[in-house]
């Protein structure tokens, strides 16, 4: 079983993108656009206090008639966080994401934020693992690379 820790060790982009609760929504959108990501962590100093995602923007800014230039992140961020431990398996992550209808999981270790994984990260690793398994089985069946 592949764990979150294993995924994070192979992840190409290990930067944790974050904004402050008092930053504007516009600033958060700029950070997300520049990094090509769908969510940012909201941190007050070294403490994670929420997450802001494209979904928050669509539902809490546009549909409620607010503006991104005048609204602070703390007014609309998701405060009730679902987090995961590094020892969790990717299958457990998929189940959590499905159950809570979320696409991003902050990774916490001993009460400290150590990263964030997305549904795309999880799916990419699962697909790569399945592809590798299929290739190995085909090689075994065809006798390629064995007995040398």
Q: Do 81 and 51 meet the contact criterion of CB atoms below 8 Å apart?
A: yes
The answer to whether residue 132 is domain-embedded is yes
C-beta atoms surrounding 20 within 10 Å: 15
- The domain total for the chain is 1
The pLDDT tens digits for 25-36 are: 999 999 999 999
How sure is the predictor about 41, in pLDDT bands with cuts at 50, 70 and 90? Answer: very high
Give the tokens for residue 15.
Answer: 């930067």
Q: How far apart are the C-alpha atoms of 43 and 137, rounded to whole Å?
A: 46
pLDDT(144) > 90: no
Q: Which of 70, 6, 11 is nearest to 37 (CA)?
A: 11
The pLDDT tens digits for 98-131 are: 999 999 999 999 989 999 999 999 988 888 777 6
pTM, two decimals, is 0.81
The answer to whether residue 148 is domain-embedded is no
Domain with 123, as residue range(s), is 4-142
The answer to whether residue 74 is domain-embedded is yes
The answer to whether residue 113 is domain-embedded is yes
Q: What is the CATH number of the domain that holds 89?
A: 3.10.580.10
How sure is the predictor about 139, in pLDDT bands with cuts at 50, 70 and 90? Answer: confident
- Residue 117 CB burial class (10 angstroms; 0-12, 13-18, ≥19): buried
pLDDT of residue 49: 96
C-beta atoms surrounding 109 within 10 Å: 15
The answer to whether residue 31 is domain-embedded is yes
Give the tokens for residue 112.
Answer: 């400290």
pLDDT(75) > 90: yes
pLDDT(4) > 70: yes
pLDDT of residue 40: 97
- Comparing 40-54, 87-101, 104-118, 123-137, the range with the smallest average pLDDT is 123-137
pLDDT(148) > 70: no
């Amino acid at each position: 079983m592949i764990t979150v820790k294993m995924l994070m060790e192979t992840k190409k982009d290990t930067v944790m993108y974050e904004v402050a609760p008092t930053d504007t929504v516009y600033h958060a959108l700029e950070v997300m656009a520049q990094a090509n990501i769908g969510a940012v962590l909201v941190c007050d100093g070294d403490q994670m206090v929420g997450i802001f995602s494209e979904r928050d923007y669509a539902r809490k800014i546009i549909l409620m008639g607010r503006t991104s230039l005048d609204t602070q992140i703390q007014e609309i961020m998701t405060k009730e966080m679902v987090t995961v431990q590094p020892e969790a398996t990717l299958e457990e992550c998929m189940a959590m994401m499905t159950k809570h209808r979320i696409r991003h999981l902050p990774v916490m270790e001993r009460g400290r934020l150590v990263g964030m994984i997305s549904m795309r990260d999880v799916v990419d690793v699962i697909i790569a693992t399945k592809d590798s398994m299929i290739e190995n089985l085909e090689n075994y069946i065809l006798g390629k690379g064995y007995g040398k």
